[in-house]
Amino acid sequence: MLDTFYGYFTPGSVEKKVVGGIPDEVAASLEARGVLLKRPNTYGAGAGLTYDPEVLKVVWDELVSLSGARVLFHAYFADVLMDGARVSGVIVGTKRGLRAIHARVIVDASGDADVVARAGAPFEDAGVLGIAQSLTTTFKVINVDVPRATAFPKKELWVRMASASGYDLPRKEGSAHITPLHGVMVTNMTPGRGCGCHRSRRAFLRGDGGTPTSTRVHALPARSNPRVRTRGTRGILRGHRGA
């Protein structure tokens, strides 16, 4: 989970809100809890809504429960069940083993076309038609002097990062932005690559799959996620519909 929603507003000098519905309900609930901050897009593509990810988890749980849906926590998609050319269900892995879930409609909300790929439907690999976005592995820094940090020119920061001795940083640019939490900034400086298990292992052992070496040396991580969510390595081909 990241910490900012993009796409609510159009870019440019004249801002226009283009998203409503359920996303608006989520944003309103976060704002009511005092953990939503509208800020300029780090990369210049429309304003972003930055939130506290821990509170967002609560908001999502509440909205899903109110809708009448049931959630299976810690159940991970493993495979599809096929009825001819139609996906009739999925296999998920849980602490009790594998479990089959049948449904009339399956929505691939993996963010990485996992269901589509396992079903044999066509997709394209990231980077085929352009530069692939690296995995966004962000981390938080606390007790930050925010006015001083935000006043420091970004390009000068990149120069200092590139010339710093003793640290092998895999990414030479990125972002560090403010959050709704006092003295907390979120930093996106560390790239990751695709779905390869061995490649991911090497990245994390080197220190560039999460918190980069420069921060890791000077701070103890407050926690570590047991699983990395991968998205954006596959794209569903437009115009394709399953049977």
Over residues 151-209, the pLDDT tens digits come to 888 788 777 777 766 656 556 666 788 999 999 998 876 555 555 566 666 655 555 44
Please name the residue that has the structure tokens 């096929």: 82
- For the whole model, what pTM was predicted? 0.71
**What is the pLDDT, as a whole number, of residue 233?**
72
Average pLDDT over residues 73-80: 94
> How far is the C-alpha of 189 from the C-alpha of 181, rounded, in Å?
20
CB within 8 Å of 233: residues ≥ 6 apart: 112, 125, 126, 132, 194, 195
Q: Residue 203 has which token pair?
A: 């990245």
Helix (H, G, I), strand (E, B) or coil at 174: coil
Beta bridge partners of 89: 81, 102
Amino acid at 78: A
